[in-house]
Amino acid sequence: MTDKTLLRALKGETLPVPPIWMMRQAGRYLPEYRATRAQAGDFLSLCYNSELAAEVTLQPIRRYGFDAAIMFADILLVPQALGADLWFETGEGPRLSTITDAAGLAKLKGRDDIHDHLAPIYQTLRILKAELPKETTLIGFAGAPWTVATYMIAGRGTKDQGPAHTLMQADRATFSALIDLLTESTIEYLSQQVLAGAEVIKLFDSWAGSLKGTDFDDFALAPAKKIITELKARHPGLPVIAFPREAGPRYAGFAKATGADCVALDNSVSADWAAANVQSSGCVQGNLDPRHMVTGGEDLVRETRRIVEAFSKGPHIFNLGHGITPDADPENVALMIETVRAGK
């Protein structure tokens, strides 16, 4: 039996203290991260500098002793590897060249042509595999096809993913072809991550909640199932965490439908509901509201205890319901971890 608690939870074990890590745990809320990013020059340079990317991945492990480290990278490196232009506007976020028709799609590279561009990411994982404490699980990740497609079609993040929905309705064939390319490319990318040392894979579908009905089935559920099925065929025993954020009632049954070992939950669903309807099928991850990392205090302690108690009868990985924000207080992270590990 492994001594890595996160892997034990993913295998379905109910532990007296849930393993804990935090989405975006290597990030702008930490002064040491900001210093390393300044050394790199800019965000993309940090992603592609394997030594510095490994360093910022290790920083929260050294500071807090999380049970898992998630490699530092970005979900939009895959479209860049496929040939899209990618840059970051200071204070505003990512920008990409847009794919809005079949002609634009035809200009992209194939799934087998991405690895030279992504080689630094694989090297980051190799460094982390060698340097992480033996009890710390190494997580690799990618964006799910739908979420990545929304950025590629709009050229930026949008509140309602409107441009992607518009293309989906106007030219479903082209939209589906883009999803298929991203699905195949994500399989290749994640498979290489496993070969480089990732022990767990997480699939981030940050905008899954804007898909409804058959669109959710076709463009959130089906691609996840294909990715997970193929990864497990290539890498038997590989655990996968799926995060169809804001899926609401569609969280129930998602693990069974896709083959995921764990479903990560956002904080828009209650822990009690999720324990009854999602954890009944296996491991869940989540789901403290990230605002508590800003406000702290007794509310943080109370909510952390409540979530731990709600999920205490089944396999659970403690995490936030979304990524930690740059205005979070590092001391509140320490308080959260202390509360989880202290028990009731």
Q: List, for residues 50-82, the tens digit of each pLDDT value.
A: 999 999 999 999 999 999 999 999 999 999 999
At position 68, the amino acid (one-letter code) is: A
CA separation for the pair 256, 260 (Å, rounded): 7
CA separation for the pair 314, 285 (Å, rounded): 11
pLDDT bin (cut points 50, 70, 90) of residue 89 is confident
151 is catalytic: yes
Which DSSP category does 246 fall into?
A: T
51, part of any domain: yes
Q: With left for phi above 0 and alpha for psi between -120 and 50, is residue 139 left, alpha or beta?
A: beta
Number of domains in the chain: 1
CATH number where 100 lies: 3.20.20.210
The DSSP bridge pattern shows strands 137-143 and 68-70 to be: parallel
338, part of any domain: no
pLDDT of residue 344: 55
Residue 191 predicted with pLDDT over 70: yes
Q: Is 203 helix (H, G, I), strand (E, B) or coil?
A: strand
pLDDT of residue 92: 85
Residue 11 predicted with pLDDT over 70: yes
24 is catalytic: yes
Name 69's bridge partners: 138
pLDDT bin (cut points 50, 70, 90) of residue 343 is confident
Catalytic residue among 34, 37, 95, 126: 37
Catalytic residue among 74, 261, 266, 289: 74
Q: Is 2 helix (H, G, I), strand (E, B) or coil?
A: coil
| Number of C-beta neighbours around residue 65 at 10 A | 14
Catalytic residue among 122, 151, 189, 251: 151
259, part of any domain: yes
341 is catalytic: no
215, part of any domain: yes
pLDDT bin (cut points 50, 70, 90) of residue 105 is very high
Q: What is the mean pLDDT of residues 78-92?
A: 93
pLDDT of residue 189: 98
Range of the domain at 214: 18-266
CB 316 within 8 A of CB 284: yes
Q: What is the pLDDT of residues 291-331, one digit of tens each?
A: 999 999 999 999 999 999 999 999 999 999 999 999 999 99
Q: Is 202 helix (H, G, I), strand (E, B) or coil?
A: strand
CB 126 within 8 A of CB 57: no
249, part of any domain: yes
136, part of any domain: yes
266 is catalytic: no
Residue 4 predicted with pLDDT over 90: yes
CB 255 within 8 A of CB 241: no
156 is catalytic: no
At position 92, the amino acid (one-letter code) is: E
